[in-house]
A and B are shown apart, each in its own frame.
Chain A
Amino acid sequence: MFEGWPPPMLDPAGPYAGVITTLSWILFAMAGAVLLIVLAAIYVALFAKRELQAKLGGKTAVLVGGVALPAVVLTALLIYGLSLTRHLSDPISGNELRVRVTGEMWWWRVAYLDGQGREVIQDANELHIPAGRPVVLELQSADVIHSFWVPRLSGKLDMIPGRRNLMRIQADAPGVFGGQCAEFCGGPHALMGFTVIAHEPAQFARLMRARLTRERTSPAATAAGARLFDTAGCSACHRVAGTDANGLAGPDLTYVGTRRMLGAGILPNNRGTMMGWIGNSQALKPNNRMPPYTALSAAQLTELATYLEAQK
């Protein structure tokens, strides 16, 4: 359907997801082994000859099989698992790209940080990263507990109100990776998706430079839409950098024209879906916090969509 969606869970595209996938397979295998042992024990208990039952049963079997073996196996597994995934929570070295991702109901606020941790580029629902480089995500929440999960790049990590959780992701090669909120966070939780786009490092640098030095232009073709964006009330909740629109309640729309998806990773981004989302997003993502704009005419919807398409 959409590129990178639904995200495959056991197909790692980076080292952090790779160790988790390895650990997952080991756990699957061990769980399978335990299942076989238990089934064999049940078989012996029910159908085997008396002599065999007497030989295998007894207090020793319970102590060895029920206490000692699990303790040893689980401890070994814990140590192995922790060592395998120890790099997931490496402290910030200062060289990584840092991005603050804030879970909101039901979308993601994204802010790229500079070396001092200041927010320099605001975006939403989409994260651009360089391929082959670890990226540190500062995960936090603005309301309830969300969980950030881009299966091909890393594990899940909760976004907890009042806390800042660090998570590392890395993509080995350029690509598009779907993500999803993994902690039930209210009505449209299932429609709270995310997109990570990994670029070649040079291309990523160009993209970030372009955004930092972005000169806002206002072509005549979008003038009507720009006015409407103000008068229809869009600017109360949405921000478009360089204009009067400075609302912070909803996703930042400064680069909405470049996004691959709309509505927090759920719809492809084209003029039709843009108009559909503006016109009645409640039909698409029930109970999201954007009201339906059924009072707008077709021409007005088109003007707004034209304006938003031009926000790059």
Chain B
Amino acid sequence: MRRIVGQDPLLRRGQKLADPQHHVAGVVAPLPLAPLVELIGQISGRLPGEWRVGGTDTLSLLAVTGSTGHQPARRVAVVIQSLWCGPRGGTGRDRQGRVKGGHRTAFASIELLSDPTHLRMVTASVGKGIELPLEIARVQPRKSRRAGAISAPIEPVTGKAGIARSGARATQRDDPAVSRETVERGRLAYATAPEQARGDQIKKFAHGNATASSSAMFRPAVVAPLLLMVAACQPPPDQRHSMPMADAANGKAVIARVGCGSCHTIAGVAWPEGKVGPRLDGLAGRALIAGKLPNRPDVLAAFIRDAPALAPGSGMPAMPVTKAEARDIAVYLYQQETR
């Protein structure tokens, strides 16, 4: 039995995707000839207790290799159980509701049989395959909150696909929680478009074979899946860009005063509708600011004030607004739905 990590250069590369700041991690299990891989994951079960984030969970993953070229279809199922997650150690931490953001790590491994072309997936508890991040959403004191795992693209990595970048949004800040919360069941499910139609088939397969993975059910010449999984908690939309001290109405007035509309078409601003910069509606749903910065309220406010410092090379100039006004503008923009 070998651990995936450390055996293969590709795997190491995958591991580097782990981003401790945003709790993004990847799992990579490259099998040299796998033309298509699908990964379907589900966090089943529930984080116990409403007083904390953490506890055990179950993650089911299904990796499926498809086939192109000379290889027949091969499918590999992985079931990971007893996923450890949440903070560990300490007494009374749960009841106090002090929840610290942390990686939740799922374990999986791919076992190489004596024949190097034989692979099998083993359940649980051995090896380290997946870091399933669960971010602790930003929480206001004494407010209930929810957090759930979301799935970002679990890219099937084929010859050309490479390592998928995390799509986790940095807006989900991992502030330490200060109040209790209920963690809802999350779901990870992803299939590449060409493979979508096979979803049912895959699911059936998963149920049938999930527990049989320790047997030598896999035939030679199978290439292992290359998995990259990224997940993060996404709070509900109304809590996503919380800026409690900002004043959206004043933000709109400032937008008019400094003429943001000269370059941007802004929802709720009838004129001007500039076309030099991007439209600024539906900003709350966007992942990146200026194509490179995480779409977080503080980052957006800072970007409005001094874009050249944060994103050199973009056309956005520094704008003559105060810090408070920049926050007001940011909260106004976050409130505008897509038109």
A268-B258 in contact (CB<8A): yes
Please count how many residues in chain B sit with their CB below 8 Å of the partner chain's CB atoms: 23
Give Cα A283 to B266, complex, Å: 13
Question: A298-B313, A302-B315, A305-B317 given as contacts; is B260 within 8 A of A272 (CB)?
Answer: yes
Give the dominant DSSP class at B's interface.
Answer: loop
**B302 within 8 A of partner (CB):** no
Query: Are B257 and A284 in contact, with the CB atoms below 8 A?
Result: no
In the complex the two chains form, is A270's CB within 8 Å of B319's CB?
yes
Closest to A299 in B: B313
* B262 located at the interface, meaning its Cβ lies under 8 Å from any Cβ of chain A in the complex: yes
Contact A1 B257 (CB under 8 A): yes
Q: Is the CB of B274 within 8 A of A283?
A: yes
CB within 8 Å for A2 and B276 given contacts A270-B320, A271-B318, A298-B313: no
CB contact under 8 A between A279 and B259, given known A298-B314, A298-B315, A305-B317: no
Chain A residue nearest to B276 in the complex (CB): A279
Asked if residues B317 and A280 are in contact (CB atoms below 8 Å), the reply is: no
Q: What CA separation (Å) do A285 and B261 show in the bound complex?
A: 12
Let me know if B315 and A268 touch, CB within 8 A.
no
List residues of chain B with CB within 8 A of the CB of A272: 258-260, 262-263, 316-317, 319
Whether B298 is near chain A, meaning CB under 8 Å from some CB there, is no
What residues of chain B lie closer than 8 Å to A127, measured between beta carbons? none
Point out the residues of chain A lying under 8 angstroms from B253, CB to CB. Answer: 1
Residues of chain A from 67 to 107 with CB closer than 8 A to chain B in the complex: none
Task: State whether A280 touches B257 (Cβ < 8 A).
Answer: no
- Tell me whether B272 is interfacial, beta carbon within 8 Å: yes
Contacts of B320 in A (CB 8 A): 270
A229 neighbours in B (Cβ, 8 Å):
none
In the complex formed, the residue of A with least CB distance to B273 is A283
Closest beta carbon of chain B to A161's beta carbon, Å: 30
Instruction: Give the complex CA separation of A273 and B320 in angstroms.
Output: 11
A273 and B262 within 8 A (CB): yes
Give Cα A32–Cα B276 distance, bound, in whole angstroms: 51
Q: Is B198 an interface residue (CB 8 A)?
A: no
What secondary structure prevails in chain A residues at the interface with B? Answer: helix
B275 at the interface (CB under 8 A from A): yes
> Is B256 at the interface (CB under 8 A from chain A)?
yes
Q: How far is the CA of A285 from the CA of B271 in the complex (A)?
A: 10
Docked-complex contact B257 and A275, CB < 8 angstroms: no
- What sequence of 0s and 1s flags, for each residue 1-41 of chain A, a beta carbon within 8 Å of any chain B beta carbon? 11000000000000000000000000000000000000000
What residues of chain A lie closer than 8 Å to B276, measured between beta carbons?
Answer: 275-276, 279-280, 283, 301
Residue of B nearest to A284 (CB): B272
Residues of A within 8 A of B318 (CB): 271
Chain A residues within 8 Å of B263, by CB: 272-273, 275-276, 279
Instruction: Tell me, yes or no, whether A177 is within 8 Å of chain B by CB.
Output: no
Chain A 168-185, CB-CB to B under 8 Å as 1, else 0, gives 000000000000000000
Complex CA–CA separation, A302 to B317 (angstroms): 8
Chain A nearest CB, measured from B255 CB (Å):
10
With most chain B CB atoms within 10 A of its CB, the pick from A1, A277, A284, A302 is: A284
What 10 new A-B contacts, CB under 8 Å, besides A270-B317, A276-B276? Answer: A1-B253, A268-B257, A273-B259, A275-B262, A276-B259, A276-B261, A280-B276, A298-B314, A301-B315, A305-B317
The 7 closest A-B CB pairs, nearest first, are A276-B262, A298-B315, A279-B276, A276-B263, A273-B262, A273-B259, A283-B275
17 A-B interface contacts by CB (under 8 A): A267-B262, A268-B258, A270-B317, A270-B319, A272-B258, A272-B260, A272-B317, A276-B272, A279-B315, A280-B275, A283-B275, A283-B276, A284-B261, A298-B313, A298-B315, A301-B276, A305-B317
